[in-house]
Amino acid sequence: MKHLHIQSLFTQIGDCQKEFIHKQACVLSLRYIGFAKTVMVALVLATTPLFAINIILNQYAERRAVTEMEAMGNVSVHRAEEAISTTVSLLQRLDRDNVQTCSAEDRVIFEKQIVEHGMIDAVGLADASGQRMCIIPDRELAGMIILPPLRADGPLVGIGMLERSFLGAHAAVISWDLKNQTRLFAEVTPAVIAMDPGPEYLRSYRRTELRLGNNLLWYNVGGYNSVGSDPEEMLTVEIASELYPLVATVTAPASSARQVVQDLKVLAAAACAGVAVLFVAIGVWFSWRPESEANDEFIAAIRNGEFIPYYQPVMDIESHRLRGCEVLMRWRRPNGMIVSPGQFMAYAENNGHIFDMTRHMMRVAAEEVGELYGDNPDLKLSINLFAGHFLDREIVSDIKAIFEKSNISYQQIVVEVTERHPLEDMDLARKIIAELQALGVRVALDDVGTGHGGMAYLQKLGVDIIKIDKMFIDTISSDDNSTTIVDSMVELADNLGMGIIAEGVEMEEQIERLLELGVTAAQGYFFAAPMPSGEFIEYAERTEAEARERERMAAEAAAAARAASETAMKGAAA
């Protein structure tokens, strides 16, 4: 009986051993299969014909170019719509106020409108034939025909073009029929639409045209002549206005779009071998590494609070006062090493960890700098979000839960959305942004001019602040194109009532140029690198003390100057 029990026990042990060996064999088989698949993928990648890579790259380049061209067209149409609507509203208001003559009183009102509306160069009165009767500011152009003759069945609004131009844009003349054989008119400055958006690789080759009504050319810029070119080799985008008979046409040769991937084509052959080796190495690592070890390590880092906020100051470059800071994430490993976000942010976004990490950043920031911000209600705290935050309302709930009872008010918070990564649902993103703005939170568009949305994001998202990317600031002192782009961004921000911040400022010359262009807020290593909370609080207190000392010295100098002036006047009187 005992013998049977022992035999049964050994049989069970033998079965368990067989099962264990079978399981280990299955694990090894799966790992070998995974490794073999990786090697096969690597071989396919290494032996794929280069012409296939070229086709993929060309298609990508052309799609990207078309997207950028659509953004250019949208910007041109939007700026023209805004110029026409604003000018027509101005003329209608003058009509309602009975400002309809060339009297001295009406001229004073004309001049006041020019001062109040930066896009208006002149205001005047024209007769039925289209001749100027008077114009403010006064010019030697009285009697010049600037509008088509008045028709009884004609529209109330008329538009003409002058020869005067700026950066390819003509000065437009917009009129309003007064129903007494005269018309009020206003000249719109060419700078309103004289903007050259788009990436560098297209800017030198594309042609952008904005036409009004019966083929009346308003805006024409670009060095590439597409006349007579093969239509199949041209990329063409047309954007029509929904408000006015405006059509923007952007044309560029497909070859110019492909330039952006030319270097990739050259490197493709060498890269195939490198990619193959890399995939084999990754296959070995993942095949023999304990499953989910990498993800477990990252989750442990989140739970242990290894991701910490650093703060980079944002300065007022006119008054040298602190305006606030941008919260930037860093990974502080247990050994004290600080890891930059470029090494982990993509992984965090792709695996969904970024949501917990962002909440953690906001909580820690509220604790670390809450007292400083409570004592200084004008300071702003900028928090970076990514495209996934705009797929649901959770970010709104997070901000309410974290900041509602903190020392940092909603009005002090700025959330930054980058245009480097496209937003999947623009309508939903706009609703979430509107809900944040209703709380008092301001929204900034980061990396303007470098990503998928281009300037079209500005009109779709309704943001409050534009952040000029470092790539434009780096060459602002030496590259006329960068200066023109920054100048256009500043003008656009002014017209739309937006704030503007320059990023990546590193030199005194850049600050001087930014001040000339009208930019008064900036951040970068010229002022300070991103720093821990303690250093940032010390920096804020020191900066404020220095600003107050400058104000005190300026006040004393002014008082001394006044006293000296009074003494001199008394001496002269005696």
List the pLDDT tens digit at each of the 574 positions of the chain.
Answer: 444 443 443 334 344 334 433 333 333 444 455 556 666 666 665 666 566 777 787 777 778 878 888 888 888 888 888 888 888 898 999 989 998 888 989 888 988 988 888 788 889 898 888 888 888 887 655 567 778 888 877 788 888 777 776 766 777 888 888 888 899 999 887 777 766 566 666 666 777 888 887 677 777 777 655 444 566 678 888 888 888 888 888 888 877 777 766 666 667 666 766 766 776 676 666 555 554 555 677 888 898 999 999 999 999 999 899 999 999 999 999 998 998 888 888 888 888 899 999 999 999 999 999 999 999 999 999 999 998 999 999 999 999 999 999 999 999 999 998 766 778 888 999 999 999 999 999 999 887 766 555 566 777 788 899 998 888 888 887 777 767 888 888 888 888 888 999 999 999 999 999 999 899 999 999 999 999 999 999 999 999 999 888 888 888 888 888 888 888 787 777 6
Q: pTM, whole model, 2 decimals?
A: 0.51
List of domains in the chain = 53-257 (no CATH), 293-531 (3.20.20.450)
| Residues 94/102, Cβ–Cβ less than 8 Å | no
Q: Is the N-terminal amide bond of 137 cis, ω within 30° of 0?
A: yes
Size of the chain in residues: 574
DSSP secondary structure letters along 195-208: ---S-HHHHTT-EE
Residue that the structure tokens 């300071």 belong to: 379
Cα dihedral sign, 480-481-482-484: positive
Neighbours of 323 (CB within 10 A): 20
- Give Cα separations from 220 to 146, 168, 225, 248, 280 (angstroms): 20, 5, 12, 10, 53
Cα dihedral sign, 35-41-42-43: positive
